[in-house]
């Protein structure tokens, strides 16, 4: 329940920061790919609400997959696939965020509150990576069935 809660806090903080900066939702967009792709085409409250809900569900799934594999509730093959998908998703999200920060770090509107949103987004990605590591360890450390 930590990852979806962290996502909800991130989304709320981004909404507050977005009022004074054009970068408020950018880290949310990055950490919620592919769920956030509709934000590219539409920037209205209905799309933001849908992304907030689906993104929170997405991060719940990422956290749940790690624990399911860790507790041997998924097969070894499915667990390995889940771990790989979570790693790839978190890596792609991180690369999107790094690209944005490199492009905006000299902008005077890139201030403390915006940096705090990015830091919270990085914390969320670290939680996703932790879930992927737990899934990977769960796959490797699994004892054979008798």
**Separation between Cα atoms, residue 90 and residue 107, nearest integer Å:** 26
Low-confidence ranges of the chain (pLDDT < 50): 146
pLDDT of residue 23: 65
Structure tokens at 69: 């594999």
Q: What is the pLDDT of residues 115-138, one digit of tens each?
A: 888 899 999 999 999 999 999 998
CB atoms within 10 A of CB 123: 16
Give the global pTM. Answer: 0.87
**Chain mean position to CA 64:** 13
pLDDT of residue 94: 93
Q: What is the dihedral of CA 4, 6, 9, 13, to 10 degrees?
A: -130
């Amino acid at each position: 329940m930590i990852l979806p809660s962290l996502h909800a806090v991130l989304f709320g903080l981004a909404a507050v920061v977005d009022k004074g900066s054009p970068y408020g939702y950018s880290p949310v967009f990055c950490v919620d790919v592919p769920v956030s792709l509709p934000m590219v085409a539409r920037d209205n409250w209905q799309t933001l609400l849908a992304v907030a809900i689906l993104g929170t569900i997405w991060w719940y799934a990422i956290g749940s997959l790690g624990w399911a594999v860790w507790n041997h509730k998924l097969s070894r093959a499915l667990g390995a696939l889940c771990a790989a998908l979570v790693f790839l998703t978190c890596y792609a999200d991180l690369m999107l965020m790094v690209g944005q920060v490199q492009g905006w770090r000299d902008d005077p509107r890139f201030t403390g509150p915006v940096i705090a949103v990015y830091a919270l987004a990085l914390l969320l990605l670290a939680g996703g990576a932790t879930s992927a590591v737990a899934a990977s360890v769960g796959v490797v450390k699994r004892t054979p069935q008798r």
